[in-house]
Amino acid sequence: MTMNPSYKPPCLALENVQCDNRLQDISFTVRSGQCVHVVGENGAGKTTLLLAMAGLLNNGTEGQIKLNNVDLRQYSLAQLATSRCFLSQQVSCQFDLTVAEILHFYTEVARIPAEIEDALELSPLLAQSLLQLSGGEQQRVHIARCLLQIWPAIQRGEGVLLLDEPLQSLDVAHQQCLLQLLSRLVAQGNVVVMSCHDVNTSYHHASHVALLLNGQMIASGQSKSVLTPNNLKTTLKCDFHLIYSENAYEFLLPVVNKP
């Protein structure tokens, strides 16, 4: 991708961020071209962290979050909506609209970009009612909706994608298609921060990982440095082994200790 002179590499910086009893003294930075997976057990604070980074959790939040060196609180929601998107775990639609109608509401382009449509296999769904789709199909639509919201910024390599468990409900094939799409977007300079429960997925697809435990960040950095058996045992309360196959392909496998 050729950068234009006005290109602004995206950057999110958190400094001593706290939110009631849900986040405690969180500090880390996400830079252009990074895919960060937030890993932790249920209730660790992953969703709260993503909401704070999206500028959707100002009440009760202390510390500072900067987007492109500007305090997040100085942006209006309308301004944020042009460069950052947030995918919630739970999205409901009360109107019986087709997928095409819903998606075109979020974009000014006449046609859904082929890169989104192909990766998420949207073509067979466009004429159908969202309310009649399966959970996995709806998830693909909502992911597309988020991407379309900031697609011009994504094309410039200036997008910030905050995704709360985007892989949930997706079958294995569509999980891989989404991960490959996100990798291509990151390679263009965009930022992806997503929560994930699959350690193997984070190990192989995240450039960086942040480990949360009880609202505290216990480790962050490059994925293969952070995702160690000791760190994972502390974070997820489960033993892991790091295994190498003959071709040096690495796996992290949970070990269940039977009583």
How does pLDDT run across 46-84, given as a tens digit for each residue? 999 999 999 998 777 899 999 999 999 999 999 999 999
Nearest alpha carbon to residue 255 among 243, 236, 242, 238: 238
Q: Which pTM was predicted? A: 0.92
Own/partner contacts of 221-226, CB < 8 Å, gap of 24 or more, are 223/37, 224/250
DSSP β-bridge partners for residue 210: 38, 220
CA atoms in the 13 A half-sphere facing the CB of 3: 12
DSSP β-bridge partners for residue 30: 12
Query: What tens digit of pLDDT does each residue of 89-148 get?
Result: 987 777 788 999 989 888 776 689 999 999 999 999 999 999 999 999 999 999 999 999
* Ordered domains of the chain (ranges, CATH): 11-255 (3.40.50.300)
Contacts of 126 (CB under 8 A, 6+ apart): 98, 99, 100, 103, 112
> Could you tell me the pLDDT band of residue 248, with boundaries at 50, 70 and 90?
low
Question: Residue 168 above 60 pLDDT?
Answer: yes
- State the average pLDDT over residues 21-38: 96
Please give the pLDDT value at position 5: 58
> Could you tell me the pLDDT band of residue 7, with boundaries at 50, 70 and 90?
confident
DSSP state of 130: G
- State the average pLDDT over residues 10-24: 94
- State the average pLDDT over residues 28-40: 97
CB atoms within 10 A of CB 171: 10
CA distance 169 to 248: 31
Say how many residues make up the chain.
259
- State the average pLDDT over residues 160-166: 98
The CA-atom distances, in angstroms, between 71 and each of 13, 66, 96 are 9, 4, 39
Please give the pLDDT value at position 2: 46
Question: Residue 1 above 50 pLDDT?
Answer: no
Question: Residue 238 above 60 pLDDT?
Answer: yes
Locate 176 and state its tokens: 């891989």
Strands 11-19 and 160-163 turn out to be: unpaired
Query: What tens digit of pLDDT does each residue of 190-233 get?
Result: 999 999 999 989 999 999 999 999 999 999 999 999 999 999 99
